Amino acid sequence: MRTLSRFSMLFVFFLVHSDTMNAQTIDTTSTDTIRTYQIDEVVITGTRTYKRIIDVPYSIERVENSQFKFDRKIGVSDVLGTVPGLFLESRYGNHDVRISIRGFGSRSNSGIRGVRILLDGIPESEPDGQTRIEAIDFQSIGSIEIVKGNSSSLYTNAPGGVINFLNDVGFRKTHAVSFNQFGSFDVKQNGFKVGLRTEDFGFLTTYSYHHAHGYRQHSEDYWHILNNVVESATSENSFLRIYGYFVDGLIRLPGSLTKEQFETDPFQANSRDAARDAKRITKKGRLGLSFSTTFGENVNHEIELTGYGTMKYFERASGVYRIINRDGLGATVRYVYHYHLFDRNHEFSIGGDLFSQRGPVEMYQNISGKKGDILSGLTDETIGNVGVYFQHTFNLLPEQMDLLITGRYDKVVFDHKNQILEVQNAVRRFEDFTPKAAVNFKLTPTVAAYASYGLSFDSPAGNELDNFPTSSKPTSLLNPDLQPQKSKNFELGIKGNLLAHRADLFRRIFFEATYFNTTIDDEIVPFEVFGDVFFRNSARTDRSGLEIGVDLELLRGLNAKTAYTFSNFSYDTYLAGSVEFDSLGNLVTINRDFAGNTAPSTPEHLVAFSVSYENNFTEQITSFAKVSYHLASGMYVDDANSEKTEGYNIVNVTLGLDVVVGGLNVLVSFGVNNAFDKTYVAFVNTNSATLEFYEAGEPRNYFGGINVGYTF
């Protein structure tokens, strides 16, 4: 009750912006419309501008819920597995997934780093950039925007890109749906979705309950997710929205294994983590209000304003038992001006973001997963970021060539106060300006080439600033030596949509190809000291790669999708110090040169391929079948390149039936993942000093679902 009371007090009345209003005007029930006009969809939040994909000099993909309506919808890898350049490593399902784009995010052994995560345009990422996605309910999601590549000139801590999950508010009619999923390892997910629609009002509410025993020992989890969106057209050109969610859940952590343990039983729990009853208990909520309007004689001015409040309560049982309380307030503002000059249409926008959260962190002894009675530590932590940005699109050639200039100034502040030992109070500030320039050139109205160059700035996350015994100031609460990583990013790409409605073969081809090169100074990487994870800078890293994606309609109803990613990531210079005991038992620091080594936790080759067929038996009955194939080459497990995982290839099969009779809709699905029961390493616990690098992916598992809905 205390948690719910605190959450109810977080209603913050800011006039706010709607990052998704216009994006949802496409009818997400029309698969043909989505497939035909994918390249022309409006992408909003990821690029902070209302433009078609073809007009934006970024590598962008948009996934509609119709594309995964028959699939299992437990984790993010169930819905984003065929996006080129996106690498998903799932530890224990959806709630500790590692998402990396072009290597950004691969350093995180817990949560998501380097990729900005949004829900309805509002940051799910913390002020320091770290993210967990417990609040993302894929039964409620209508579409997902993925912007790949350096986005630091628009967002805080986004060198890898932006992923925006949009709730399904684009429905046109009032409806209600009961969804039920079940599967191997006692997976159960039940809930409902209700959408109310009038001419000027819309309301969406979803509730999901998920429970699973897990495919590894000591990996049970359960989650309650309540999600609500209210929208209203306050005038012809103005929109108001209210967002709210609440999440309550638990996940037990089986831990990582050594190579010997993995080969003996890949699904066992680490005995140390099982004895500790390692787990995370989470309660968090968010309430936001948004407002957007256009005005002016030619309706060429736009204003978007957002305000939101957050409540987060965490319990973490590992080596110690931590209780973390955080309350936060955030706001964003954006102004856009469209103008005509020298017979050209141009666009200028300016905006800002503010997000601050604070609260105490309590530490107790962990007694077999129970909180001890004696308080051993109490720290009041404040984390905040403020940023301002601009972007200007200059039209150089009418309907053909644009120049985009963007820039952002960010300041991230950590203020930790030890409530027991005041001498350990610490403050660290990180700030920088990150510009970017890009050119978009249309070869045809539906094919465009683009190039960009820009800088990025990625400050350490709060947990990455934990101090370690051999730092230059070991008594400080915050690591005084860790610096932000900065990078120079170049990108060259082409994308397009080729349509041939009257052809029997290859009626539609959507393609994209991107080459990128990134040079990172002071890359932040994890390392261990006596079993505890800390972070350090690794000097200079060079990353280059190629992303290719093709989505085509072979015949009417028969579609194929291919994604290939090549990654060549290596350390140019890297002199790493490790703390070890010598032969006499003395503590010494040994420097090792890792220059020329391959960066860990990223496969050199990543392939995803799927073939699907949708057949309309009658106007009321549609069948669906899909076979998908995923391949990943082996990954190094540490900076020393001491061990490398085996590559893997996985085959998944999905079958479905969609029956519509009047307003009644029944959707039945069934599938098998990892059909050939391959044993493989799905997650690498990078740079483990105890050599516990390995975590297994799911063995063969079955799933099914029954959704029953009615449209009024």
Give the residue among 339, 379, 341 at the shortest CA–CA distance from 360: 379
Q: Dihedral, CA atoms, 98, 3, 169, 507, nearest 10 degrees? A: 10
Task: Provide the domain count of the chain.
Answer: 1
- CA distance linking residue 544 with residue 177, whole number of Å: 45
- CA distance linking residue 657 with residue 70, whole number of Å: 8
Q: Dihedral, CA atoms, 524, 528, 529, 532, nearest 10 degrees? A: 100
CATH number for 562: 2.40.170.20
The token duo for 289 is 């209000």
The token duo for 271 is 């005995």
C-beta of residue 651 within 8 angstroms of C-beta of residue 628? yes
**pLDDT tens-place string over residues 160-210:** 999 999 999 989 999 999 999 999 999 999 999 999 999 889 999 999 999
The token duo for 135 is 């609040």
What are the angstrom distances between the C-alpha of 511 and each of 439, 499, 547, 704? 19, 12, 11, 32
- CA distance linking residue 335 with residue 357, whole number of Å: 25
Instruction: Give the pLDDT confidence score for residue 97 in this predicted structure.
Output: 80
Using DSSP, state whether 380 is helix, strand or coil. Answer: strand
- CA distance linking residue 117 with residue 134, whole number of Å: 12
- CA distance linking residue 401 with residue 392, whole number of Å: 14
C-beta of residue 478 within 8 angstroms of C-beta of residue 461? no
Q: Is the Cα dihedral 244, 250, 256, 257 positive or negative?
A: negative
Pairing relationship of beta strands 201-212 and 86-89 according to DSSP bridges: unpaired
Instruction: Give the pLDDT confidence score for residue 3 in this predicted structure.
Output: 43
Instruction: Give the pLDDT confidence score for residue 501 in this predicted structure.
Output: 66
Q: Which domain holds residue 372?
A: 2-711
Percent of the chain with pLDDT over 90: 69
- CA distance linking residue 427 with residue 441, whole number of Å: 46
> What do you get for the CA distance between the two ends of the chain, in Å?
36
**pLDDT tens-place string over residues 242-255:** 999 999 999 999 99
**pLDDT tens-place string over residues 272-292:** 999 999 999 999 999 999 999
Q: Which residues pair with 227 in a beta bridge?
A: 206, 245
Report residue 352 CA to chain centroid gap: 21
Average pLDDT over residues 457-462: 89
Q: Which residues pair with 495 in a beta bridge?
A: 448, 512
Q: Is 343 left (phi over 0), alpha (psi -120 to 50) or beta?
A: left
**pLDDT at position 15 over 70:** no
The token duo for 638 is 């540490």
